[in-house]
Amino acid sequence: MTAVPRLPDQLAFPMPGTTAFDEAIALARKGVLRFGPQKGGGWLDRDLNETPHGLVGGKTGQGKSVALSIVLFYAMLLPDVYEVIVCDPKRTDFTWTPEFPSVVHFAATDTEIVDAVARAKRRMDAGQTLLNKLQVRKLSWLREKYAADPELEKAHGPVPRRLILFFDELADFLAKGANSDVEELKDEARANLESIARLGRAIEVNIVAAAQKPDAKIISTQLRSQLGFRLGVGPLDQYESQQILNSDHGTRFPEEGTPKGRSWAYDPKNGYRQVQVMFLPDDSMVCPWDASIMLTGSKELARDRLIELGFAQTSITNSDGGIEPRWIRVENDDAWPSIDVPTNAEHDSESSDTKPELDFGAGLGDQELNDSDDVDPWNQ
């Protein structure tokens, strides 16, 4: 009898130049997000094409934010493939994200988030209109059609990039408040979220939501039922496990001694799987379990990649008078327009941070990744 491979207690995200890194980035180009090794062998690869929307939950300090940062990292590293709308009602872990070109909008207050969700809905509707006009059912098929007839792009514009509606602490936003005017607006956002959850798959508009306690009384049945991918990070009590995983799997980790990042994942195709989420810090730091190793942070890795792509760092002044970094495209070539970055209060990362709504060219289509081939993660 062959023993089941033991999960590592910790594992750093692979660094550029390694085969593991190249494979993860090549998968991300196709909408497949690698989180870490799973028990029994292989990897937990979340396929946005198969299960377009998901929910990540867990107690503070167990690794939930790291799992979410991995999603953002793939998007930041591949600005030709992804764009992201970030909703961060607590303004805690993700206020730094507007620095990067992939993040086209940042929202924190209730009214800003209502507008952000409406933007995602409009983007989905525009994508559906394009599909209807060209009589195809999915963006991946539209890319194939464009490849066969390049004149179509000249006539109809580029295929939209995949859009991730990234929502930290979804339940905090959806919870009922005392302001009736704001609640009326939030009802509109609730309806838009449900619409995106139902229809976003073919148009590649994906919801990545996080919540410590995604109470069924707060998140509607219609929305919860469409959040097909679940990731419960760290030990959970019975109630938390049921709300996040729809099972008691989260209670199987002991409260003491469970490695940070140890998780249960679920999707309809693969069922429940135990996984060790890879560790990827936002900022460079000494490795927590080996002081002889320096881990490069996701921000630094993304900045290095942007320089390779022909971006240059600049800065803006926010509404509080503070200086914030941004990146602009220096060269204007092919499907990548240059971006003029205004220096006004509209771009305050503590309020509503909006970049021009540009349609950029998408990346690779749905080609298969053959492990026996040399992997070029940057191939466009």
Please indicate, yes or no, if residue 52 is contained in any of the structural domains.
Answer: yes
Q: Is 63 annotated as a binding residue?
A: yes
Q: 2 falls in which pLDDT band (50, 70, 90)?
A: low
Q: 5 falls in which pLDDT band (50, 70, 90)?
A: confident
Please indicate, yes or no, if residue 305 is contained in any of the structural domains.
Answer: no
In whole angstroms, give the CA distance from residue 230 to residue 224. Answer: 10
179 and 44 co-located in one domain? yes
- Pinpoint the alpha helices (H) of 1-109: 19-29, 64-77
One-letter amino acid identity for 220?
A: S
pLDDT tops 90 at residue 43: yes
Decide which of 363 and 275 is more confident: 275
Q: Is 39 annotated as a binding residue?
A: no
What average pLDDT does the segment 233-259 reach?
95
In whole angstroms, give the CA distance from residue 79 to residue 100. Answer: 9
pLDDT reported for residue 332: 56
341 and 245 co-located in one domain? no
pLDDT tops 70 at residue 246: yes
pLDDT tops 90 at residue 354: no
112 and 222 co-located in one domain? yes
The kind and range of the H/E element at 172 are helix 170-174
Q: Give the angle subtended at the CA of 169 by the CAs of 219 and 264, to the nearest 5°.
A: 85
pLDDT tops 50 at residue 347: no
Q: Give the angle subtended at the CA of 68 by the CAs of 106 and 48, to the nearest 5°.
A: 95
pLDDT reported for residue 220: 92
pLDDT reported for residue 342: 37
pLDDT tops 70 at residue 373: no
Please indicate, yes or no, if residue 9 is contained in any of the structural domains.
Answer: no
What average pLDDT does the segment 205-233 reach?
93
Question: How many CB atoms are closer than 10 A to CB 15?
Answer: 11
276 and 340 co-located in one domain? no
**Is the CB of residue 131 less than 8 Å from the CB of residue 139?**
yes
42 and 83 co-located in one domain? yes
pLDDT reported for residue 321: 87
Give pLDDT tens digits for 264-294: 999 999 999 999 999 999 999 999 999 999 9
Q: Is 2 annotated as a binding residue?
A: no
Strands 205-210 and 54-58: parallel
**Distance in angstroms between the alpha carbons of the first and the last residue of the chain:** 44
Out of 264, 280, 296, pick the residue that ends a domain.
Answer: 280
User: CA neighbours within 13 Å on the CB side: how many for 112?
Assistant: 22
Q: Is 64 annotated as a binding residue?
A: yes
Instruction: Please state, for a pLDDT cut of 90, what percent of the chain lies above it.
Output: 79
Q: Give the angle subtended at the CA of 83 by the CAs of 47 and 76, to the nearest 5°.
A: 85
Please indicate, yes or no, if residue 369 is contained in any of the structural domains.
Answer: no
256 and 316 co-located in one domain? no
| Helix, strand and coil in the chain, % to nearest 5 | 35, 20, 45
Please indicate, yes or no, if residue 372 is contained in any of the structural domains.
Answer: no
Give pLDDT tens digits for 109-165: 999 999 999 999 999 999 999 999 999 999 999 999 999 999 999 999 999 999 999
332 and 236 co-located in one domain? no
Buried/exposed 97-127: b ≥16 CB within 10 Å, e otherwise: bbbbbbbbbbbbebebbbbbbebbbebbeeb
Please indicate, yes or no, if residue 302 is contained in any of the structural domains.
Answer: no
99: domain CATH number?
3.40.50.300
Give pLDDT tens digits for 88-117: 999 888 999 999 999 999 999 999 999 999
201 and 317 co-located in one domain? no
pLDDT reported for residue 308: 95
CA dihedral 23, 28, 34, 40 (to 10 degrees): -60
- Give the least confident one: 85-89, 114-118, 353-357: 353-357
The whole-model pTM stands at 0.86
In whole angstroms, give the CA distance from residue 169 to residue 174. Answer: 9
Instruction: Please state, for a pLDDT cut of 70, what percent of the chain lies above it.
Output: 86
In whole angstroms, give the CA distance from residue 62 to residue 1. Answer: 34
93 and 228 co-located in one domain? yes
Q: Give the angle subtended at the CA of 47 by the CAs of 43 and 50, to the nearest 5°.
A: 135
In whole angstroms, give the CA distance from residue 24 to residue 48. Answer: 14
pLDDT tops 90 at residue 30: yes
Q: Is 128 annotated as a binding residue?
A: no
What average pLDDT does the segment 54-62 reach?
94
270 and 330 co-located in one domain? no
Mean residue pLDDT of the chain comes to: 88
Q: 178 falls in which pLDDT band (50, 70, 90)?
A: confident
38 and 114 co-located in one domain? yes
250 and 183 co-located in one domain? yes
Q: 377 falls in which pLDDT band (50, 70, 90)?
A: low
pLDDT tops 60 at residue 359: no
- Give the least confident one: 1-5, 186-190, 361-365: 361-365
> Which letter does DSSP use for residue 81 in this model?
T
Q: Is 60 annotated as a binding residue?
A: yes
In whole angstroms, give the CA distance from residue 212 to residue 56. Answer: 8
Return the residue matching tokens 């924190």.
108
What average pLDDT does the segment 232-261 reach?
96
Q: Number of structural domains, the chain?
A: 2
Please indicate, yes or no, if residue 293 is contained in any of the structural domains.
Answer: no
- Domain range for 236 is 19-280
Please indicate, yes or no, if residue 163 is contained in any of the structural domains.
Answer: yes
pLDDT tops 80 at residue 344: no
pLDDT reported for residue 318: 83
